[in-house]
Amino acid sequence: MTAVGARLVVAAADTIRTHADELTTLDRAIGDGDHGINLRRGFDAVAEQTEELAALPLGGALEKAGVTLVMKVGGASGPLYGSLLIAMGKSLGDGPVSVATIAAALSDGVEKVKARGRSDAGAKTMLDVLVPVRECLAANLDRPVPDILTTIQEVADTSLEATRDMVATKGRASFLGPRSRGHLDPGARSSTLLIRAVCAVVGESA
């Protein structure tokens, strides 16, 4: 990984730390109130490995960070985000890092989240942000990077907002049935935060 990779780790951990209470409050409304706590534990553990991660190629670093998330996070979100990163890392391997290879890696990663969660977009989960962002990236590969970053963040924000009116059919929020409507999904919010953090670092380095 490079200095950019190390900045990605720090930025991801920072945004989770800054928004941990907000994520927990969202999860209190339709889950069990631990999403911020879960992710903070996981991303703090990843941040502690920044030096080791920085010494690896991006693919290997993503895999290692994913394994840490799977191991450190108790809730559903740890294995799901962990699977996302592990699959992205495997897809990238030691190969070149470009918009096209990142798009392909994200595609593989999102498929893994779907498989692991036995879920898809429309169930009021993180996939309601991850799937449209993946599709947006795939459709905009040829545009200049700053445009791609802006578009992705807009899609993430709109997709997050769309979870408010959804009824959850997966995860703990599904226990509430129609009463899950009217609240943002906590995992969709954390996905948006992470995507924004990644876009900010890539934007600074582009």
> For binding to ligand ADP (CB under 6 A), which residues are involved?
27, 31-32, 34-35, 38, 75-77, 80, 117, 119, 125-127, 170-172, 185-188
Q: Angle at the Cα of 42 (from 201 to 71), degrees rounded to 5?
A: 130
Total residue count of the chain as it appears in this document: 206
- Kindly state the smallest distance separating residue 4's Cβ from ligand ADP, in Å: 27
The item of Mg ion, ligand ADP, none sharing an interface with residue 127, based on CB under 5 to 8 Å by kind, is: ligand ADP
Q: Rounded to whole angstroms, how far apart are CA atoms 128 and 5?
A: 26
- Kindly state the smallest distance separating residue 117's Cβ from ligand ADP, in Å: 2
- Kindly state the smallest distance separating residue 200's Cβ from ligand ADP, in Å: 22
Our CB check for ligand ADP shows the closer of 86 and 149 to be 86
DSSP at 182:
T
Tokens matching residue 50? 């920044």
Region for 25 from its dihedrals, namely left if φ exceeds 0, alpha if ψ lies in -120 to 50, beta otherwise:
alpha
Q: Rounded to whole angstroms, how far apart are CA atoms 82 and 87?
A: 9
Our CB check for Mg ion shows the closer of 107 and 169 to be 169
- Kindly state the smallest distance separating residue 38's Cβ from ligand ADP, in Å: 4
- Please report whether residue 89 would count as binding Mg ion according to CB under 5 A: no
Q: Angle at the Cα of 33 (from 86 to 158), degrees rounded to 5?
A: 65
Tokens matching residue 112? 């893994």
x/- site string to Mg ion, residues 13 to 52, per CB under 5 A?
--------------x---xx-xx-----------------
